[in-house]
Amino acid sequence: MLVLGIETTCDETAAAVVRLQPGGAGEILSNEVMSQIAEHAAYGGVVPEIAARAHIEVIDRLVQRALEHAGVKLADLDGVAAAAGPGLIGGVIVGLTTAKALALASRKPFIAVNHLEAHALTARLTDELAFPYLLLLVSGGHTQLVAIKGVGDYLRLGSTVDDAVGEAFDKVAKMLGLPYPGGPQVEKVAAEGNATRFDLPRPMLGRAKPDFSLSGLKTAVRLEAQRIAALTPTDVADLCASFQAAVVDTIIDRSRAGLRLFRETVGAPNAMVVAGGVAANGAIRRALMRFCGESGLRLVLPPPQLCTDNGAMIAWAGLERLSLGLTDDMTFAARPRWPLDANAEAAHNGKA
């Protein structure tokens, strides 16, 4: 079974072909990604209109390259999948429309994939992981702890009440004058800094509900930077190191609360999975390795290139759904918001 996956929810245009082998394992035949970092660097962040236009300019040849590198033709596919949200709506529409057109032209099933679900299921592609497991999703737009019980069966245990972890990294980088993208820059500079120089807060520490809050920490960094005024390179390195240490402590504490709630509501998890772009941060990865070792829990960390946005995760989620007979029609609309756990979203909005 072969599926083409297309990803355009933010600032990476991606297309990939993944094969589901008879035994249930996945094989990535191609995984093409084109980043837009250069286009957005001057603005210090992703500009939605620029992102959408950039997707339009490259999507056709990227899909063609993915098929060629996989050694397959459109007619060989069993389905075409695209990330239908959540994300920047202009970009999502580009990928979704492309996938629909390809599915129509080739008369293949179309699968609309939740971008968050694709992150959630990546560990099953890389490690053939069985359900259920605990997911820590940490990216520029999302920070959640989710119980992954099956395909389409998700229970959100906790989430951020304000900034996502990746968003906080990027904003701290910007206020300290570091280049875009900020997250990797903060990690790089933090390696040279003193993590104990600044006593920064650890929001939500010790709370039973595994929610996150990053805005207070981000504000504390800004106040320290303003207090020093003319920042030296040493000051910047120390602020980055102190900020990153606070984020690490917060993630571990919130993960501990999430694991406790998972065991109370679902049972024993088969593993803890970390996904999303921030999962590439070395300090966070090392801390989670220690945490899982102490908790007697298997830690699954997909390769960094599969933690950031990519087409292979969309193709794999499409394969998972297609193998269960789950397909979508051409009326499926792009969604700027699309929670994994609709019940949690309703409760968060005061509707349930």
Question: Would you say residue 346 has pLDDT above 50?
Answer: no
pLDDT band at 208 (very low <50, low <70, confident <90, very high): very high
**Distance (Å, rounded) from C-alpha 162 to C-alpha 164?**
7
* Structure tokens belonging to residue 236: 């910047």
Q: Which amino acid is at 245?
A: A
Residue 347's pLDDT is: 43
Q: Which residues in 212-239 are b (16+ Cβ under 10 Å) and which e?
A: bbbeebbebbeebbeeeeebeeebbbbb
Identify whether residues 337 and 291 lie together within a single domain: no
**Distance (Å, rounded) from C-alpha 19 to C-alpha 36?**
27
Residue 137's pLDDT is: 95
User: What is the phi-psi region of residue 71: left when phi exceeds 0, alpha when psi lies from -120 to 50, beta otherwise?
Assistant: left
Task: Please answer whether residues 118 and 319 qualify as being in contact, where contact means their C-beta atoms are separated by less than 8 angstroms.
Answer: no
Our count of domains for the chain comes to 2
The model's pTM: 0.93
Identify whether residues 257 and 116 lie together within a single domain: no
Helix (H, G, I), strand (E, B) or coil at 156: strand
E-only strand ranges, 8-132? 12-20, 26-35, 79-85, 110-114
| Averaged pLDDT score across all residues of the chain | 94
**Distance (Å, rounded) from C-alpha 263 to C-alpha 290?**
19
**Residues 171-194: what's their mean pLDDT?**
94
Q: Which amino acid is at 79?
A: G
Identify whether residues 278 and 312 lie together within a single domain: no
Identify whether residues 56 and 173 lie together within a single domain: no
Identify whether residues 256 and 224 lie together within a single domain: yes
pLDDT band at 38 (very low <50, low <70, confident <90, very high): confident
Torsion over CA: 76, 101, 328, 59 (sign): positive
Residue 20's pLDDT is: 94
CA nearest neighbour of 227 among 197, 194, 249: 197
Question: Would you say residue 190 has pLDDT above 50?
Answer: yes
Question: Would you say residue 101 has pLDDT above 80?
Answer: yes
Identify whether residues 90 and 239 lie together within a single domain: no
Residue 345's pLDDT is: 57
**Distance (Å, rounded) from C-alpha 27 to C-alpha 316?**
9
**Residues 123-139: what's their mean pLDDT?**
96
Residue 323's pLDDT is: 96
For residue 181, what are the domain limits?
130-304
**Residues 152-177: what's their mean pLDDT?**
95
Residue 185's pLDDT is: 96
Question: Would you say residue 156 has pLDDT above 90?
Answer: yes
**Residues 65-84: what's their mean pLDDT?**
98
Least confident of 1-5, 297-301, 325-329, 347-351: 347-351
Question: Would you say residue 7 has pLDDT above 90?
Answer: yes
**Distance (Å, rounded) from C-alpha 348 to C-alpha 341?**
11
Question: Would you say residue 189 has pLDDT above 80?
Answer: yes
**Distance (Å, rounded) from C-alpha 211 to C-alpha 158?**
4
10 Å Cβ neighbour count for 139?
Answer: 24
Identify whether residues 194 and 339 lie together within a single domain: no
Identify whether residues 287 and 314 lie together within a single domain: no
pLDDT in tens, 327-343: 999 999 999 999 998 87
The most distant pair of C-alpha atoms in the chain lies apart, rounded to whole Å, by 63
Task: Please answer whether residues 299 and 133 qualify as being in contact, where contact means their C-beta atoms are separated by less than 8 angstroms.
Answer: no
% residues pLDDT > 90 (the chain): 85
Q: Looking at beta carbons, which pairs linking 250-253 to residues 24 or more positions away fall under 8 Å? A: 250/202, 250/203, 250/204, 250/205, 250/212, 250/214, 250/217, 251/136, 251/138, 251/165, 251/284, 251/287, 251/288, 252/287, 252/288, 252/291, 253/202, 253/204, 253/205, 253/206
* Secondary-structure breakdown of the chain: helix, strand, coil percentages, each rounded to the nearest 5: 50, 20, 30
Identify whether residues 201 and 172 lie together within a single domain: yes
Strands 2-7 and 79-85, by their bridges, are parallel
Identify whether residues 231 and 171 lie together within a single domain: yes
Task: Please answer whether residues 157 and 131 qualify as being in contact, where contact means their C-beta atoms are separated by less than 8 angstroms.
Answer: no
Identify whether residues 15 and 46 lie together within a single domain: yes
Residue 348's pLDDT is: 42
Question: Would you say residue 324 has pLDDT above 60?
Answer: yes
C-alpha distances in angstroms, 32 versus 60, 70, 75, 343?
A: 12, 10, 20, 35
Top pLDDT among 180 and 119 is at 119
Residue 48's pLDDT is: 84
Identify whether residues 40 and 65 lie together within a single domain: yes
**Residues 306-328: what's their mean pLDDT?**
96
**Residues 295-314: what's their mean pLDDT?**
94
Q: End-to-end CA distance of the chain, in Å?
A: 40
Domain of residue 40, CATH code = 3.30.420.40
**Residues 161-172: what's their mean pLDDT?**
94
Q: CB-side exposure of 305: number of CA atoms within 13 Å? A: 11
Question: Would you say residue 272 has pLDDT above 60?
Answer: yes
